[in-house]
Chains A and B, each alone.
Chain A
Amino acid sequence: MTALRIEGLGVRFRLHGAAVQALSDINLQVRRGELLAVVGESGCGKSVLAHALLGLLPRNAQVTGHAYLGEDLDLLHCGEQRLAREVRGRRLGLIPQSPATALNPVRTGRRLLAETLRAHGRDPGLAAEVAADAGLDDADLDRYPFQLSGGMAQRLTTALALATDPPLLIADEPTTGLDRPLVDHTLDLLRRRCDAGGTVLLITHDLAAAQRVADTVAVMYASRIAEHRPARDVFGAPAHPYTAALLDALPNWAFTPIPGHPPMLTALPPGCAFAPRCPRRTDACGVQPGGPVACHHPLVAAA
Chain B
Amino acid sequence: MSLVAHGVTAGYRGLTVLRDASFGVAAGETVGLRGPSGCGKSTLVRVLALLHAPDAGHVSLGGVVVSGVRHRVSAALRTRVGVLFQSPRAASDPRLRLADLIAEPLHATGHARAHTRARVAELADRVGLTADLLTRRPHEVSDGQLQRACLARALVHRPAYLLCDEATTMLDASTQAHVAAVIAQEQRRHGTGVLVVSHDAVLLDRWADRVETW
Contacts and interface: CB of A to CB of B under 8 A. Distances in A.
Interface stretch (B94-102, B108-116, B157-165, B177-185): B177-185
Interface string A251-266: 1100111100100000
A207 interface: yes
Interface string A14-54: 00000000000000000000000000111100000000000
Contact of A261 (B130, B169, B203): B130
A42 B143 contact: yes
Contact of A42 (B128, B172, B178, B202): B172
A64 interface: no
A250 interface: yes
B196 to A, nearest CB: 11
Nearest to B168: A251
A181 B178 CA distance: 26
Interface size class of B (residues with CB under 8 A): 20 to 34
A42 B144 contact: yes
Interface in B123-173: 128, 130, 142-144, 169-173
Interface in A170-208: 176-183, 205, 207-208
A249 interface: yes
Which of B144, B172, B181 neighbours the largest number of chain A CB atoms within 10 Å of its CB? B172
Nearest to B166: A177
Contact of B175 (A180, A208, A257): A257
Q: Please report whether the interface of chain A is mostly helix, strand, loop or mixed according to DSSP.
A: loop
A147 to B, nearest CB: 13
A179 B36 contact: yes
Contacts of A41: 144, 172-175
A178 B169 CA distance: 10
B173 A246 contact: yes
Given A41-B173, A183-B199, A246-B174, 13 more contacts: A40-B172, A42-B171, A149-B37, A177-B169, A179-B36, A180-B199, A207-B173, A245-B174, A247-B173, A251-B176, A251-B200, A251-B206, A256-B177
Interface of A: 40-43, 149, 151, 176-183, 205, 207-208, 245-247, 249-252, 255-258, 261
18 contacts: A41-B173, A41-B175, A42-B144, A42-B175, A149-B37, A151-B37, A179-B36, A180-B199, A205-B173, A208-B202, A246-B174, A247-B173, A251-B177, A251-B180, A251-B203, A251-B206, A258-B174, A261-B130
